[in-house]
Amino acid sequence: MIINKINRKFWTKMGAFVLLVLLIISCADLEEDPNSVQFDPAALNSDTALETLVAGMYSRIQNDAQWSAFFITGYAGDDISTRSTSNKAGFRDSDWRQQTPGSARLGNAYNGCYRAIATANTAISIIDNIKGDAGKIQRLLGETYFIRAFAYLHLTRTYGRIPIQLKPTSNDKLKRASFVDIYKQIEADLKQAETLLPNVYPGIPAVGTRPNKGSAKAYLARLYLQWAGYPEKDLSKYALAASKSWEVIKDKSVYGFDLATDFRAMWTEDGRFKHNEGIFTLIGCTVGCGVGNRTTGRLGLTNAAGGWNETFGEIAFYNDQKTEATKNGTMKRFDATYIHEKIPRADEPIGADFMSEAKITDRHPMFRKIVGGDFSETVNTTRNDINRYFMRYAEVLLIYAEASGRAGNVTANSWKALNDVRNRAGATTPLTAVDGNIEDLAFTERKWEFAGEYERWNDLVRMEKAAAALGNRSALEDVDVSHSKTPSTDASGKYFYFSPIPQSQLDLAPELND
């Protein structure tokens, strides 16, 4: 199993990495082989050594999260689709819930997260030997717990029940843990991070590029919201989600968080550090270190615009959002989410004409969030420096609104949180109880706010709305003409809610087949 195989190597062959999130300070090659430098465990006794291990955690996440496949289950949401032919089979299998352990593109999230976990386990195991600046050691340890929690949360949201490895070196045969045990481990790590991390990470002018105390609280809120839904349905966790998200909201100035004033600019290179909405953000470094965001640019364009046809919007979702935007005055967000103007590339198709443009063979709306908010920066790229927001402050606001409603403790602040997100989207009339239950309104608001950000599927799963949402797929969506597959809406399917662990890992560890 990869977590044991990786750990055996890491103890004596930990390489030197550059900490990606310090991009704004310095950049270097993140593709360096972690086994190329011999590193004696006895030498891991300084705050500099601990910083190198933390750098390794970020490097492992970045090396895999730069690819769309890291977010493979995001393609299952009713907001995102992919090309119906060519080499996109792994994305199509996820989009149509037809995955098997042998499906393509399943390994990025699994490998990247467990490699980061392996490094975190090493760092935690040697912490008593570390000497140096006490404040620096404390925040690096907090960062270590945060990254391990982040990795386990991404793993369980992707693959469901996964093994938990907490030892730095082990050949134990680990079976899949229960969801409760996985959630408890993530909770424990985030609580440690919450205690150890500073309110503001020093020396980092761009909030969210490294986690702070508020980031840990926000991730606890996300964890509790999921814990309250499918599969555990522990409804007591809604109150915890509301409480923890409120701690972030009421002290947002302490942690440096706020809604960005320019929604579209968040998906530009020029605007990526000009706001404070990122709770935890992956940043690119194409100049100097050669590692950028490879989920954006031409990957979101149709073939008529010289695109790679990798990540599109879904027709029914687009039409529903357009109807919502017209009705509620949120066209500002709608236009910032999708491309409607002429695309200055290849045949120069009009984005809004994706259904009628003869030169467009894949009839799907194109996400501005994927292509980029400024054509002059990214329309010709397949790797750029647009931010990848693992979590935004808008989500904290909507967690609070939804969770307080489901917990039965709605306040004026609950409505304000919901309306703050809608106001930024362009709405001029606030929502009140007359418009419906706040939990339902907030859940729906998440649908529009995070369209194209690989989050929608997680919401559909936790509320068991996936089958109904996928059943609303437009009849105009293309079928897989290359592999004779069609979308599934069978929620009883073995791999409907969660993707399978890659076959390569099942071969290494047959005990994971349970």
Domain ranges of the chain: 1-197+490-514, 297-382
Query: What phi and psi, each to the nearest 5 degrees, are found at residue 285?
Result: -150, 60
Burial (Cβ within 10 Å: 0-12, 13-18, ≥19) of residue 440? middle
Question: What is this structure's pTM?
Answer: 0.92
pLDDT band at 290 (very low <50, low <70, confident <90, very high): confident
| Mean pLDDT in residue range 51-55 | 94
pLDDT at 212: 98
Is the pLDDT at 15 greater than 90, yes or no?
Answer: no
Could you report the per-residue pLDDT of 302-346, keeping only the tens digit for each? Answer: 989 999 989 999 999 999 999 999 999 999 999 999 999 999 999
What tokens were used for 247?
């701690």
What tokens were used for 502?
């890659």
Alpha carbon 9 to chain centroid distance? 28
| Mean pLDDT in residue range 23-32 | 30
pLDDT at 51: 95
What tokens were used for 274?
């000009």
3-state secondary structure of 77: coil
H/E run at residue 114: helix 107-125
pLDDT at 480: 67
* Residues 158-196 as b or e (16 or more Cβ within 10 Å = b): bbbbbbbbebbbeeeebebbebeebbebbbebbebbbeb
Is the pLDDT at 511 greater than 60, yes or no?
Answer: yes
3-state secondary structure of 367: strand
Please say whether the structural domain 1-197+490-514 has been given the CATH code 1.25.40.390: yes
Report the alpha-carbon distance of residue 120 to residue 324 in Å, rounded.
Answer: 44
Measured CA distances, 346 to 356, 370, 380, 511 (Å): 17, 18, 10, 51
Could you report the per-residue pLDDT of 351-384, keeping only the tens digit for each? Answer: 999 998 888 878 899 999 999 999 999 999 999 9
